[in-house]
Structures are given as C-alpha cells and as structure tokens.
Amino acid sequence: MNSEQILKEIKNRIFEIESKQNGNFREEYDQIYDLIEQLEESNNLTNRNQTSVIFSSDKLQKAEEALRASEERLRLVVTNANALIFIIDKNGIITLSEGKALNLFKFLPNQIVGISIFDIYDDKPEVQEDIRKALSGTTTSSILEIQDYIFETVFSPIKDLNGNIEGIVAIAINITERVKLEREKENLIEDLKLSSKKIFNDANRLMKLNDNLITSEEKLKKMNDEKDKFISIISHDLRSPFGGILGITDNLICYFDKFSQNELKSNLELLNTTCHSLFELLENLLLWARANRGKMTVNKEKIPLFKIVKANIELLINNAISKRISINNTVQKNISVFADENMLNTVLRNLISNAIKFTNVGGEISVSTHQALEDNRIEIYISDNGIGIPPNVVENLFNLNRKYTSLGTNKEKGTGLGLLICKEMIEQQDGRIWVESKEGEGTCFKIELGAVKNNNDFFEESTDINVISEQLHNELFSLDKELIKDNNLENLSLLINEIEEQYIPECMELSETQILGDIGIFASNLKNISIKYNCMNVNKYAEIMLEKVKMMDIIQLNKYLEYFPILINQLKEFIKNK
C-alpha cells in the first residue's frame, strides 16, 4: 500500500476503537484525527512536488532535443547557403568562413580563417569604415564587387549575454544576377524607345529609301578608294624589300670574288631574312585581299576554345621565352565557339604574336574569357602589360587608310596588315573585334563570337605556360651576388641549416593544406629569420609571399611554395662555389 492508503486504514481503525469507547476520550481522539489530517496534507504536498520534478525533467529533455535540432538546422543553412558567411572577432580576424559562394573563388570552408578582414579590404577604406561601425555596435551594409561578381554584404555586431560586443557576422549575398536583370530591364526599356522611334521613322519610308541609295553610293565609292589604297600599299610596301634584295644580289655579283666566306654568309643571311619578310608581306596581302573581297570560304563549326588557344600559345611560346614573358591561359574549358578554325587560328596567332612583340622583357600576357550579356556569346580577351598604344592610333587601328606599324620592344618588325586581316576574318564569322589600351600600361584586344557551354560544367584552373621559375630565380638570386662577401658566408650557412630543418618540411605541408593564414605566418617567420641572418634574397622571397597572401592568390602561392626548395639549393651551390 502507498502512504495515502496506510493513513486511510489508520483512520478507519481509530474510528472503530472510538466507537467502542462510548464517547470517552473524545478530546484525545480529535487530536489524533488532526495529526492524521496534517500527515495527509504533507503527503499530498510531497506527491505534488514529485510530479513537478518529473514534469520539469521531461520539459528540460524536450528543450535540449529542440535545441539540438535547431543547431543542426542552423549548421545545414550555414553550410548550404548560397552566400559568403564570415564570423570576425573584435580584432578583425576571420574565425569562420562558410557558404556555397566560396566555390566561386575556389576556396574551401574555413580556408581563409586567420586572415585579417582589414587586409582583404585594404584598398577599400569605405568598407573598412563599415566594419569598424559594426564592431562599435551599428549594423552596416555595403555593395562589393569581387572579381566578376557583385555582393550585397551586411555586417552585424555579435553581443554576449551582458551586451558586450564579441565580434561581427558578415553575410554576403550574390546579387550579380539581379544586377544583370536590372541592366537587361534598362536595355529592354531602351529597345522599346527604339521601337517607338522606328514606328515614327516608318512614316518617312520613302525618304529613308532615298538615304539608303545615297549610302550605297558612298559605300561603292569607299570600296573604290580602298582598292586604290590597296594598290598603293602593294607598290609602296613591296618596293622596299625588293630594293633590298636587288641591292644584296648586285653586291654579290659585283664583289663575289672579293668577298670573304664570312662576308658572303652575312650577305646571304641578310638576303634570306629579307625574302622571309617579303613572303610574310605577300601572304598577308593575299589573305587581306581575299577576306576583303569576300572570296574566303567560311566553314563555321563548334571548336573547344581552351584547346585552340592552348595550341596557339604553344606555337609561339619560344618567342615568349626568349623575352622571359609569361603567357597565362585562363580561358573557360567548358566553352566552345562557333567559328572557322583556320580563321580563328590566324586571328589568335596575330594577336598573341603582337602582344609578345609589344611587351617588355619579363612582362605578362593573359588570354581569358568573359560571358557577354547577350545569350550564346563569349568575349575573348588577349591582354598584356606592354608599352600600350597612343590614343590617336587606337581610334584608327583597324582603318586601312591609316595603316599603322611600329617596331616591337626588341625592334621586331611587322607588316601593318595583321590587324586588318583579323578584323575582316572576325566580321566574316558574325563577330566583332575592338581594342582598349593605355599608353605605358598595356593593351587588351577583345573578340566577341557565338559560343555554347558544354555539359561538363566546371572551370579549368589557370594554365600557365611561362618562365616564372627562371624569372623568379634571376630576380631573387642575383640580389646576393653583390651583397654576399666571404665574411657573410657563415651566416648564410647557418640560415640554410635552420631552413632545411624547419622551413622546408613546413613548406611541403603548406603545399598540401593551402591554408592562407598558415602561409602568412610561414612567410612572416621566414622574413624575420632572413633579417636575423642578413639574407636579402630570402627576405625578398618572404615579402613576395606576404603580398600574394594579401591578394589571396592561391594559384601563384602554390608556384612560390614549389620554388622555395629550388632557391635554397641554389644558395647552397653558391656557397659551395665560393
């Protein structure tokens, strides 16, 4: 029996005993009944408390389960959200980086943990100010352009239970498509305006037909002028090389018996060079004439763009290597263009060859793509950091009447017809070509063609056909040739020993993990030890690494990490030779 039943039984027994007493001891029995009632009340209170404890425990367990479920949902949202999500401590250091949008920049979750947000935006003071305001307790927002994407970013303060600010959370939403739609909307409005204008112009159809007749007459006159100009180019451009050939052959005939073997060889080499230049000129003249007259057959087909660009770079790579120029092919691998393969090869060879010609020793050339706003179109960029083109020349670069030619940075010669050929060939493939250039900074030729995206929806990593290892070695290793004296060799040996014990293994590990924060710490430590031992080339290497970390350039950082053991081996050889 439970306690309630026992008390009830006691009351019944006492009642039976009281009945037999005929009213005697009434007062004592009442006191016993009072005590039993107090016991019953106490028992009821205990039962209620036990019930309350059981209920509270069950409620707590359900709350914990709900909290775990909520945390799991939050984790899934953060991991799969099509956004950039950063948690930043009060010192500006990134402690969490998540979100699907990291894939746009080829970053893994938490790969940029340890980097200062202020270093990332050191060239954007307005963004730094928004971050500082958030750290002071004010929610702020910014519109940021990162590479080819536009993000709307909100910086919100994180507070503890006492209201103290512990850091901020930054959520960046990709609004590129929204901006694109807004631009398309603006274009549509503009098209509607043009349609309205067209309706108005249709009322003057007869006048327009008359204008077309006048335009046709002017076009015919222009074609005749271009024909005359073409004949003028032939007579002028052929006269000089033929004059050179005649001069060389006249000398050979007149002084053949008097020339030494070396002089004969020198004249024959000059004759050979002149003949090659003349052949190139004639070939370009023929190509231009056929293209201009519409005599070329255009066989458009689906061509993998990355593949054809790579083939043309490889064809010209020796020219680039001779000038220590790096050529970077960052064309999307999953894009094909609709073009004539022979024509496209001719255009790419001309433009890449020109870029090499007008880029200084040690420069850079890049071939890349950009999706045009119009559907099924792609823009191909061939850019360099060379000498650039004067503004007055840019305006008339594709004009036959203003044919322009100049010497390259190594005195390379050209015919002046290459760009005219490119223009004719691109236009015959329903494309367009234009140029943007700034004198002293470089040039970018842009081509637009029809394109289609392949099923394998991924991007090719930047493919470099360059001489970065040789160039970097020459830049870094030459620093110590004048600075290292016999009395510094001991310090250099100590530095190399320490690097081989500690830094080479760490370098190999960083090549695998690719965590930017760890690479930055590695470079800072390397800089400190190079200063300690007074080694300028290792110091310079560390500074370059820190700059690449700041730019978050993972691809180039991998190359510098791979080069580090080579640099140390070269230093060991240098000491050995000393």
pLDDT, one tens digit per residue, over 280-332 is 667 666 666 666 565 567 788 999 999 899 888 877 776 777 788 888 888 98
The SS3 call for residue 436 is strand
Q: Is the pLDDT of residue 483 over 70?
A: no
- pLDDT at position 321 is 73
Q: What is the dihedral of CA 521, 522, 527, 533, to 10 degrees?
A: 130
Does position 53 have pLDDT exceeding 90, yes or no? no
Angle among Cα 36, 37, 43 to the nearest 5 degrees reads 90
Give the percent of the chain with pLDDT over 70: 69
Q: What is the pTM of this model?
A: 0.38
Q: Which tens digit of pLDDT belongs to each residue from 507-532?
A: 888 877 767 778 888 889 999 998 88
pLDDT band at 381 (very low <50, low <70, confident <90, very high): very high
Question: Thinking of the domain 300-465, which architecture would CATH place it in?
Answer: 2-Layer Sandwich (3.30)
Handedness of CA 242, 248, 251, 257 (dihedral sign): negative
Count of C-beta atoms within a 10 Å radius of residue 306: 20
Taking CA atoms, 25 is separated from 10, 174, 229, 372, in Å, by 17, 92, 145, 110
Which amino acid is located at 7 in the chain? L
509-535 as b/e: b if 16+ CB within 10 A: ebeeeebbbbbbebbeebbebbeebeb
81-178 under CATH 3.30.450.20, yes or no: yes
Distance of alpha carbon 393 from alpha carbon 404, whole angstroms: 8
CATH of 226-292, one of 3.40.1390.10, 2.40.50.140, 3.40.50.740, 1.10.287.130: 1.10.287.130
User: What's the CATH architecture for 468-577?
Assistant: Up-down Bundle (1.20)
Task: Give, as one character, the DSSP assignment of residue 373.
Answer: S
Please, where are the H alpha helices in 203-260? 205-255
What is the model's pLDDT at position 29? 57
The ranges assigned to domains in the chain are: 3-77, 81-178, 226-292, 300-465, 468-577
* pLDDT (tens digit per residue) in 452-480: 876 544 334 343 434 344 555 555 544 44
- In the prediction, which pLDDT does 495 show? 87
Long-range contacts of 76-80 (CB under 8 A, 24+ apart): 79/109
Instruction: State how far the alpha carbon of 56 is from the alpha carbons of 50, 51, 67, 575, in Å.
Output: 10, 9, 16, 77
The three-class DSSP label of residue 410 is coil
Contact criterion met (CB below 8 Å) for 172 and 83? yes
pLDDT value, residue 317: 75
Q: What is the rounded distance in angstroms from the CA atom of residue 244 to the CA atom of residue 274?
A: 7
